[in-house]
């Protein structure tokens, strides 16, 4: 069966410098094994499958698959899927927002001058890490434990643990070993730099360490942590992907109700059809 297919570059205003996402439209009728198999075949960090919503408050439903498993929520798939849905003619129920249904529930997406932005979901796990884990994180990152300014759980679905280093240069200099956790690392740029923070994201895959180009879920949880600790002020822009030759830009803001919004540019790179099933 043929399905409409899109490949979207996310968190960039220039194609091929962000984080790519594969989107399969009208995926109802495809079984779980087919979804997993196709997601593995794309060899992208995530592939999403658009479905009719089952919640009357939602505009569409999405299932998000990494190369290893299905995710309840992820940031760049949320923005890329919303972009693809709108481009394919999707009309939201409300003019000022799009409501996505996913494994984590309902997620609001809105248009901003910088592109689409999603409302950061609540953290499922937060709080400081213990000393033993801090030492383990340092060993995984191949740095001294004293180089870690702070570390905390920042899990909004994927399982992130966040590590703060002294500055952006320390983040860019990292050459991690094999990691066994999803580790997000952040460090501030000097005042006057075009971006406030440098971010890198590492996760395990089949005994190796993979770096994600630009990560919405991580930046959302980092924002919640950094703002709560008084280490950031909004609005700010985080850079990610620099060490991988990308130019990811993640825009973070907080509205009057205290909701944190995470967004950036989305660019269509491929459209067409794929044969699945």
Mean pLDDT (whole number) for 74-102: 97
Which of the two residues, 68 and 47, has the higher pLDDT score?
47
Quote the pTM value: 0.95
Place 9 in a pLDDT band, splitting at 50, 70 and 90.
very high
* pLDDT over threshold 80, residue 277: no
Token pair, residue 229, equals 């600790």
Percent of the chain with pLDDT over 70: 100
The domains spanning 2-120+263-275 and 125-258 adopt the same CATH topology: yes
Classify domain 2-120+263-275 at the CATH topology level: Diaminopimelate Epimerase; Chain A, domain 1 (3.10.310)
pLDDT digits (tens, 9 = 90+) for 158-191: 889 999 999 999 999 999 999 999 999 999 999 9
**Rounded to whole angstroms, how far apart are CA atoms 251 and 276?**
35
Rounded to 10 deg, the angle between the 75-87 and 216-228 helix axes is: 130
What ranges make up the beta strands (E) of 143-265? Answer: 150-155, 161-164, 183-188, 197-205, 208-212, 236-240, 248-254, 260-264
Mean pLDDT (whole number) for 244-265: 97
pLDDT digits (tens, 9 = 90+) for 120-152: 988 999 999 999 999 999 999 999 999 999 999
Classify domain 125-258 at the CATH topology level: Diaminopimelate Epimerase; Chain A, domain 1 (3.10.310)
Token pair, residue 125, equals 């796990």
Token pair, residue 82, equals 């919303």
Which three-class secondary structure state does DSSP give residue 36? Answer: helix
What is the rounded (10 degree) CA torsion for 205, 105, 122, 204? 0
pLDDT digits (tens, 9 = 90+) for 203-243: 998 899 999 999 999 999 999 999 999 999 999 999 999 99
* Helix, strand, coil content of the chain in percent (nearest 5): 20, 40, 40
Specify the pLDDT at position 157: 81
**Rounded to whole angstroms, how far apart are CA atoms 209 and 190?**
29
Q: Across the chain, what does the average pLDDT equal?
A: 96
Which three-class secondary structure state does DSSP give residue 134? Answer: helix
CB 224 within 8 A of CB 125: no
CB 2 within 8 A of CB 274: yes
Rounded to a whole number of angstroms, the distance between the first and last alpha carbons of the chain is 6
Place 245 in a pLDDT band, splitting at 50, 70 and 90.
very high
Residue whose structure tokens are 């479905």: 51
The dihedral through the CA atoms of 144, 149, 152, 154 has a sign that is: negative
pLDDT digits (tens, 9 = 90+) for 199-213: 999 999 889 999 999
Token pair, residue 159, equals 């399982």
Considering only CA atoms, which of 46, 50, 51 is closest in space to residue 24?
Answer: 50
* pLDDT over threshold 90, residue 198: yes
Specify the pLDDT at position 194: 97
Specify the pLDDT at position 68: 84
What ranges make up the beta strands (E) of the chain? Answer: 2-10, 19-24, 46-51, 60-66, 70-71, 98-102, 105-112, 115-119, 125-128, 150-155, 161-164, 183-188, 197-205, 208-212, 236-240, 248-254, 260-264, 266-275
Domain boundaries, the chain: 2-120+263-275, 125-258
Percent of the chain with pLDDT over 90: 93
């Amino acid at each position: 069966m043929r399905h409409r297919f899109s490949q979207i570059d996310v968190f960039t205003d220039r194609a091929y410098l962000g984080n790519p996402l594969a989107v399969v439209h009208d995926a109802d009728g495809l079984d779980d094994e087919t979804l997993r198999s196709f997601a593995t075949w794309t060899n992208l960090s995530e592939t999403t499958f658009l479905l009719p919503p089952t919640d009357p408050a939602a505009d569409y439903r999405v299932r998000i698959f990494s190369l290893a498993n299905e995710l309840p929520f992820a940031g760049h798939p949320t923005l890329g899927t919303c972009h693809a849905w709108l481009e394919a003619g999707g009309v939201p129920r409300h003019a000022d927002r799009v409501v996505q249904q996913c494994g984590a529930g309902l997620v609001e997406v809105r248009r901003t001058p910088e592109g689409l932005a999603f409302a950061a979901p609540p953290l499922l796990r937060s709080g400081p890490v213990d000393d033993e884990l801090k030492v383990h994180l340092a060993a995984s990152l191949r740095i001294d434990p004293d180089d870690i300014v702070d570390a905390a759980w920042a899990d909004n679905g994927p399982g992130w643990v966040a590590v703060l280093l002294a500055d952006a240069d320390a983040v860019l200099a990292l050459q991690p070993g094999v990691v066994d956790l999803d580790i997000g690392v952040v460090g501030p740029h000097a005042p006057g730099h075009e971006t406030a923070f440098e971010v890198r994201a590492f996760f395990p895959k089949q005994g190796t360490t993979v770096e994600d180009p630009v990560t919405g879920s991580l930046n959302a949880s980092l924002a919640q942590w950094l703002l709560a600790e008084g280490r950031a002020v909004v609005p700010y822009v985080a850079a990610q992907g620099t060490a991988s030759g990308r130019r990811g830009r993640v825009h973070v803001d907080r509205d009057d109700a205290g909701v944190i919004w995470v967004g950036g540019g989305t660019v269509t790179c491929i459209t067409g059809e794929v044969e699945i099933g």
